Homo-oligomer: A and B are copies of this chain.
């Protein structure tokens, strides 16, 4: 299936953690692909026709057929290219269920807390988001301790599904620390996650894919300023 006739195209946006999840999956599988950067304020016809339901990146187009939603794409790549690179999902059904559980936890709890902590509407809202981030991150620390059993990755000795999903967030974790003073990962409270983030970020496959933190900070500040201006305009 991973033959030379395969054509893979990824529609993305450089700062998106969801696009990074797919980039990571493609690179771990050793697949070459064409990358198309989208301007999200002026979306291409290809993006709109490939993902008419959500109109969002990432979209993976495989031999002309679009696949949308990051976790769906990562599982698709794992199944189509099962003989190529590492298997993201384990073979055992119970372990697969655990991996899907934690991937969904990252998408629902970690990302929601992070958004609220950095972009909440009021200071109380932001404080509540930061609190929820701490709780969620400590829960994930427990998962790494209990499920990882001393292995270097959520996937065990090599990276797996949860590593890929969590890895997509790493750029913004660092940017948040720098720009918004959110201490994303505390070495005292989440030592395993701190070690994981350093180990994962330093992988030969991962390092070149990580977005530039200062560019992320600039983008984050610009988005916040734009939102503040829109809110001020709305209240005038």
Contact = CB atoms under 8 A, between A and B. Distances in A.
A27 to B, nearest CB: 19
A210 to B, nearest CB: 27
Q: How many copies are assembled?
A: 2
A73 interface: yes
A19 to B, nearest CB: 17
Interface in A54-74: 62, 65, 67-69, 71-73
A49 to B, nearest CB: 14
B68 A96 contact: no
A101 interface: yes
Contacts of A68: 101
Interface residues of A, number: 22
A79 interface: yes
A80 B91 CA distance: 11
A104 B56 CA distance: 15
Nearest to A62: B94
Contacts of A53: 105, 139
A3 interface: no
A77 to B, nearest CB: 9
Residue among A73, A75, A80, A94 facing the most chain B CB atoms (10 A cut-off): A94
A5 interface: no
Contacts of A71: 100, 104
B65 A94 contact: yes
Contacts of A181: none
A73 B68 CA distance: 22
A96 B77 CA distance: 11
Contacts of A35: none
A137 to B, nearest CB: 13
Residue among A67, A97, A104 facing the most chain B CB atoms (10 A cut-off): A97
Interface in A70-113: 71-73, 75-76, 79-80, 93-94, 96-97, 100-101, 104-105
